[in-house]
Amino acid sequence: MKMLQNNAERAKRHLFVAQQTYYEQPLTLVDGEGSHVRDNEGNEYLDGFAGICTNTLGYGDTEVAQAVADQAKTLIHTSTLYLNEPMLDLAEKIAEIAPEGMTKSFFSNSGSEANEMATLIARTSKKSVDLLALDHAYHGRTAYTVALAGQSQWRNFATQMPHVAFVPNPYCYRCPLGMTYPSCEIACAKYAKRVIESQTDGAPAAMIAETISGVGGIITPPPEYFKVLQETLAPFGTLLIADEVQAGWGRMGDGFFGMVSTYDVVPDIITSAKGLASGFPIGITITRPELADTFKGPHINTFGGNPVASRAASVTLDVIEKRDLIANCKRQGEALMAGMRDLGKKYEIIGEVRGKGLMIGVELVHDRATKRVAPDLATKMLEEMRKRKVLIGKGGRYGNVLRIQPPFIFNDNDSRDFLKAFGEALAAL
Ligand SMILES: Cc1ncc(COP(=O)(O)O)c(C=O)c1O
């Protein structure tokens, strides 16, 4: 117990300084139930961030816990040199729910690895090293995925790999082209043509795009965006990679894959991680056989297709279907956004409330007319929400966007409690 109280000191002594935590006084989480999580001082929090939108089924889900315990008793690990049943079961399940023809999966441990594999497949099959990414993008923390980041604070390695060209993000609140939707006719997507023609070999392997830019501040493209983008890329033979590390599995409230269900666009490759196994480390790259099989290997991922993580993922997907949690994401997301938009009528610091399902962003500004960013207020909101026993996240190029990405099991009471705390925290500011 004595040690627990000194966790900030322990971390300082023994963890890398780069591993920065939220809050002036870091929070140590010990256990939880449903949408609530407890710290080491016994405080209970309503979790509006789910460990960076990862605890899909919240805390202590009995079905996941049972499946994990059963699996751990018999076979914890195999490596990709051997097959195991849970990995094959999961691959079959994914092939069932993925868009038609996307029947092959590669399993890894994280979103970064999933994106590494996606870009590797694209580069191999298209025989080009050039890639496109979006301004404000975030795709992970390996050297290659850092090179795909469209935010300078996340491009903080001493070396960057070349061959990535950036396309303006469909950030309508701060349109990079100074235009207005819908009269812009999605000029930002069409701009990809200009980028391809001026900054690549003329036929870049792929464009990677988050369906909603999460770390970038829940930037939510307009409905026709991905259609226009795909049409723009097609003449160049450039593949579209949907990074659904945050947005996948129903969080956006329409179907398992947001780009497919919400935007009606089938990308060439889908990547995901985070919520797939309700918190167990897992990464996945999904594509069509003709693309998947262009890379002959050999390739190893020691923990990829881990039987325990694979079981956790299969059970998570079953529970999402059984409890109709995708519809719940939609319902709770609409209730939360409506409540926050109402608060926006009273509090001028709310510049915009945006998102889809339980991917919600609230952009804070000092002044609505100039949209001057308010990262200081975002930091304070996190602390004020903590005081009211609610956890939220933040992001955005300027650190001024609150991120609300709770577990899929958020219920009516949770949303009501959340909005109450949110209103009080705004008042306190
Ligand atoms: C959209 C997106 N892609 C990739 C990643 C990287 O995932 P990981 O941290 O599991 O490597 C993240 C992590 O936040 C992400 O948000």
* Domain-wise residue ranges, the chain: 2-60+324-428, 75-322
pLDDT in tens, 134-175: 999 999 999 999 999 999 999 988 777 779 999 999 999 999
Ligand 1 lined by 51 (C-beta under 6 Å) = no
Which residues have C-beta within 8 Å of that of residue 360, sequence separation ≥ 6?
218, 333, 336, 337, 340, 353, 354, 403, 404, 405
Which whole number is the average pLDDT over 208-228?
98
Fold type of domain 75-322: Aspartate Aminotransferase; domain 2 (3.40.640)
∠ CA(237), CA(238), CA(244), 5° rounding? 140
- Report the pLDDT averaged over residues 316-345: 98
> What is the reported pLDDT for 5?
55
Distance 245 CA to ligand 1 centre (A): 6
- Residue written as token pair 């309508």: 172
Output the CA 25–ligand 1 centroid distance in Å.
25
CB atoms within 10 A of CB 80: 20
Task: For residue 12, report the phi and psi dihedrals to the nearest 5 degrees.
Answer: -60, -40
| Full-model pTM | 0.97
Ligand 1 pocket, residue 210 CB under 6 Å: yes
Question: Ligand 1 centre from 122 Cα, in Å?
Answer: 19
Q: Could you write out the three-class secondary structure of 287-317? A: ECHHHHCCCCCCCCCCCCCCHHHHHHHHHHH
Rounded Cα gap, residues 416 and 410, in angstroms: 10
The SS3 assignment for 182 reads coil
Mutate to test the pocket of ligand 1, among 138, 151, 213 (most ligand atoms within 8 A of CB): 138
Over 70: is that where the pLDDT of 4 sits? no
Q: Which atom of ligand 1 is nearest to the CA of 112?
A: 11
* CATH 1.10.510.10 fits domain 2-60+324-428: no
Q: What is the DSSP string of 262-278?
A: TT----SEEEE-GGGGT
Per the CB < 8 A criterion, the answer to whether 282 and 250 are in contact is no
Please tell me the distance between residue 139's alpha carbon and the centre of ligand 1 in angstroms.
5
Question: Given a cut of 70, is residue 51 above it in pLDDT?
Answer: yes
Please report where in the chains the tokens 């609409």 appear, as a residue. 334
Sorting pLDDT into bands at 50, 70 and 90, what band is 1?
Answer: very low
Do 75-322 and 2-60+324-428 have the same topology in CATH?
no
Structure confidence at residue 161 (pLDDT): 78
Cα end-to-end distance, the chain, whole Å: 34
